[in-house]
Structure 1
């Protein structure tokens, strides 16, 4: 095997070559010293009016234009390839572009439409970005570790094959952090992906490359994975929409990591998008193919179309202001309060308070379940290339609180503890709030934190433990005048103190603030419908999070 430096150099050189191959060549970016703090507007200064119009069109409008012949897949794909190339130069979010294959596929789709005057499928001609973890036939594997770069994938992951069959055009693979077990996007393979709204802040992880790319409007729809929050903090930090579905609804077949086979906390794969209706379009398109007929791990549940008659006569929302472990920032609490105030004035909603149920117990269980081998598999993977372990990955997988190598008996015991907690949480819901449809809560203690500081997963990982679906939607931005922290605040614990040390409304000024809506297991459709109604009723986002 080549050494670490050789593997990283080859991967980065290949990435740069894929961007350099674009025709016509991309315009040169301004020098870093001349760039603004918020980079989301920079591509608009460098692209053509047609490219700007295409890349800032919603998913449903793009699909309509593609399905009626008003535009071609080649034109749309070319525009997104070019914007993605610029995004890489600004926020380091691209693992590689795949322009030759994408444009060849787009030409095939255009020819099919020209001949048949119909589409291949519901995603006909739509460019879609893919987290690099998802295997792509003939391209480098990643698995979040450098050693994996020495290999290529023998075939596409199921989700990639499915979207191709539906007419989508995969065109870019996005960055992920070391070990894919970090709510940031740092690793030797690419360095550090930064937040488009402020390069000092993290875009989140592990689907952080997706979050950053989508916030730059360099993809209309992306695919991420989530085992502890990997879809949701990137969406929240970057100001976009996303859904972590219940496990076993969308196919993960073919996706391989160094801990594959460990299902104590089930992973999920799901959509991320700057366009709210992209979520339901993606979910319905995939589930209408009945993927469970070819994948025995999946539940045979189609996407159930819901509308305003789903919740009658009201939508019952339980608001969880605080998880009882880490107190949210002033900005996060303000965003939640402003939304709640809007909903309380609307007769369509009944809003009550939901008290967190034993979240500390949940965190203790997760400490055991995320690394039941005490980090042995991860350390072994690092040693293959001599890759140094980042402190945030070490904290989560090797030396953090509660991490130990479990015996077989302990493995059984902690799995049973998980099952009992799931049952008790549902019983608490049914007992204390039997009519509650969804929970509205923070997705993270605050807005995007400074790079290298994200240690607390509790506002997202709790829902992975329970296997509850959860959606993210943008609300507002950090305002230094409104969101000053109390200097006299007395932290509850070491982790609370750590998180609060990194709240700074001046440094985080303009960063998106998003919220999370959560439902019971397998009620994914209700979560999406509730999110849609909340956003419409409250007039969200209050501030366009994707504009400077």
Structure 2
């Protein structure tokens, strides 16, 4: 008789807890409470577990600095890896963000890299000695890739995912994997095996999904840079929720082979291809990671990857006042109207860009595409009818998690002719968006990540602002702009009925307690044409500078 999910979950959680060194466990006064604003971000500095050097390593140096100092021999990998292992252990106790923990293996590898550097004087790869955290769906030999499914637990991987092999070849040190939602199709990272990941800045708000564990860990500075995956917003949504930079590359840029996705082999080829990308504290760290991937010959590890290094990709050449970056401002998807604070944010962003001499701003309307994009995305994503996932869950009697309950149902698989029609509709939409790029001669577009601020747990509404870009296969990233201030809680909803059911739910978010949003980060999404990933990241670096004046609060140009 198969083991029931409760017993598996209890064993798995006990196994995970045993991998946290006792000397890194928090005292009760730190583990049981958050500050008055429900934040635990300051606990690592206050708890006394980290030394002053370890605080310096984890707080003062970004991933790019760490790589430079490791490659120059100014830092030892064992010191850097130990510092982030300790901070990850602290993060786990506060926000429940880890799944697999392999600190001992990581510290052992770090020592080997240090010894090799001592003997040769040369770093191993472009990521020499850098600790990197990865989403639970990546396979690492000897460890589970359970993705929070009870039936997948205690079945260690026998191979590495392609990207894992590349990161190791480039000298990275892998030390933990991070939590995901059940089925990885939810927007709040909860599953029955590992439980719920919390938002470290405000534990009343969602940490996002499906790379929510990764977002929470990086926000806690328990990782200098993490790797998530994205098929509908799963990198960008956690990046927004945790005030981070996240990049969803085009399909074909970063190796994805060897993932545990729960679906039958080949299913992704019928639908929308997921991609892997970085979540970090700034744009330059994301660029550093993507450059290292591109220089690691990823096409030799995954047949879907285009054989083109980072330097061979088209750069952003228009960075001078005489050739400004042409930015299209997209204010709504036409399906769900952004709430007042998101409208105010887009006004601030447009004003800041207009004042920045390296940018030219153009208003772009794609609202006629929004409803169609959502309909086709939902159709393509439901080709299997969720039957495979329900089969997995029923083996151990496992229920759906709260966000999925009522949303995910077992349905008949779509017939071949309907699949063909959906693919034709997808191609039509991709052709239409190409015409918009060409008509406006755009380098990038800027639009909301969502029509609402970071909401409470299990309250994320539509994904259309992110999932539409997966359907169109456009590289996109998230940039933090500024925090939600008291002034952002002002503003009323428009007169008249909601556009649809999704719009009604979105208005309901604004009818709730608005003060809960205060202090959360407000972000925008940046989009480039297909396969223009280098242009995307270099454009994000320009916008990162342009948005700097907004960090103190709402701009004077804010208006609804």
- TM-score (ref. length: structure 1): 0.94
Whether 1:15 aligns to 2:16 is yes
Superposed counterparts of 1:25-36, under 5 Å: 28-30=28-30, 32-33=32-33, 35-36=35-36
Cα deviation code 1:132-179 (max 9, x no counterpart): 111111111213422111411111111111111111111111100000
User: Does structure 2 retain, via aligned residues, the 8 Å contact 1:374–1:397?
Assistant: no
Superposed counterparts of 1:381-392, under 5 Å: 381-392=392-403
Q: Secondary structure at 2:227's aligned position in 1?
A: strand
Residues 395 and 524 of structure 1: CA distance in aligned 2, closer, same or farther (over 3 Å): farther
| Number of aligned residues | 538
How far apart are residue 514 of structure 1 and its match? 0.8
Match in the other structure for 1:135: 139
Q: Secondary structure at 2:276's aligned position in 1?
A: strand
Alignment equivalent of 1:361, drawn from 364, 372, 377: 372
User: Does structure 2 retain, via aligned residues, the 8 Å contact 1:81–1:171?
Assistant: yes
Match in the other structure for 2:419: 411
How far apart are residue 411 of structure 1 and its match? 1.2
Match in the other structure for 2:42: 41
How far apart are residue 489 of structure 1 and its match? 5.0
User: Does structure 1 retain, via aligned residues, the 8 Å contact 2:336–2:502?
Assistant: yes
How far apart are residue 27 of structure 1 and its match? 5.0
User: Does structure 2 retain, via aligned residues, the 8 Å contact 1:29–1:89?
Assistant: no
User: Does structure 2 retain, via aligned residues, the 8 Å contact 1:327–1:445?
Assistant: yes
Superposed counterparts of 1:345-360, under 5 Å: 345-356=355-366, 357-360=368-371
Superposed counterparts of 1:190-209, under 5 Å: 190-209=194-213
User: Does structure 2 retain, via aligned residues, the 8 Å contact 1:292–1:299?
Assistant: yes
Cα deviation code 1:380-410 (max 9, x no counterpart): 11111111013533555427xxx76311111
How far apart are residue 33 of structure 1 and its match? 4.3
Match in the other structure for 1:421: 429
2:343 and 2:19 mapped to 1: Cα distance? 43
Alignment equivalent of 1:273, drawn from 259, 280, 288: 280
1:146 and 1:391 mapped to 2: Cα distance? 16
Alignment equivalent of 1:114, drawn from 106, 114, 118: 118
Match in the other structure for 2:249: 245
Greater mean deviation of Cα atoms: 477-486 or 408-417 = 477-486
Whether 1:538 aligns to 2:551 is no
Alignment equivalent of 1:376, drawn from 367, 374, 387: 387
2:414 and 2:12 mapped to 1: Cα distance? 36
Match in the other structure for 2:456: 450
Cα deviation code 1:57-91 (max 9, x no counterpart): 11111112211222211111111111111111111
- TM-score (ref. length: structure 2): 0.92
Match in the other structure for 2:557: none
Match in the other structure for 2:150: 146
How far apart are residue 444 of structure 1 and its match? 1.3
Match in the other structure for 1:526: 535
Q: Secondary structure at 2:453's aligned position in 1?
A: coil
Alignment equivalent of 1:336, drawn from 346, 364, 373: 346
Residues 77 and 543 of structure 1: CA distance in aligned 2, closer, same or farther (over 3 Å): farther
How far apart are residue 483 of structure 1 and its match? 2.8
Greater mean deviation of Cα atoms: 11-20 or 223-232 = 11-20
Greater mean deviation of Cα atoms: 210-219 or 293-302 = 293-302
Alignment equivalent of 1:86, drawn from 79, 90, 94: 90
2:39 and 2:402 mapped to 1: Cα distance? 28
Whether 1:261 aligns to 2:266 is yes
User: Does structure 1 retain, via aligned residues, the 8 Å contact 2:148–2:194?
Assistant: no
User: Does structure 2 retain, via aligned residues, the 8 Å contact 1:223–1:270?
Assistant: yes
Superposed counterparts of 1:38-187, under 5 Å: 38-46=39-47, 47-56=50-59, 57-187=61-191
Match in the other structure for 2:317: 309
Mind listing any 5+ residue stretches in structure 2 that lack a counterpart?
554-560
How far apart are residue 416 of structure 1 and its match? 1.4
2:545 and 2:356 mapped to 1: Cα distance? 11
1:43 and 1:489 mapped to 2: Cα distance? 47
Q: Secondary structure at 1:242's aligned position in 2?
A: strand
1:2 and 1:455 mapped to 2: Cα distance? 35
2:406 and 2:383 mapped to 1: Cα distance? 14
Cα deviation code 1:353-388 (max 9, x no counterpart): 111141101111111111112221111111111110
1:429 and 1:237 mapped to 2: Cα distance? 29
User: Does structure 1 retain, via aligned residues, the 8 Å contact 2:206–2:455?
Assistant: yes
User: Does structure 2 retain, via aligned residues, the 8 Å contact 1:215–1:239?
Assistant: yes
User: Does structure 1 retain, via aligned residues, the 8 Å contact 2:482–2:523?
Assistant: yes
Residues 139 and 541 of structure 1: CA distance in aligned 2, closer, same or farther (over 3 Å): farther
How far apart are residue 219 of structure 1 and its match? 0.3
Residues 33 and 213 of structure 1: CA distance in aligned 2, closer, same or farther (over 3 Å): closer
Match in the other structure for 1:233: 237
2:278 and 2:33 mapped to 1: Cα distance? 35
Q: Secondary structure at 1:129's aligned position in 2?
A: strand
Cα deviation code 1:494-538 (max 9, x no counterpart): 111112212343011111111110011000111111110011133
How far apart are residue 19 of structure 1 and its match? 1.3
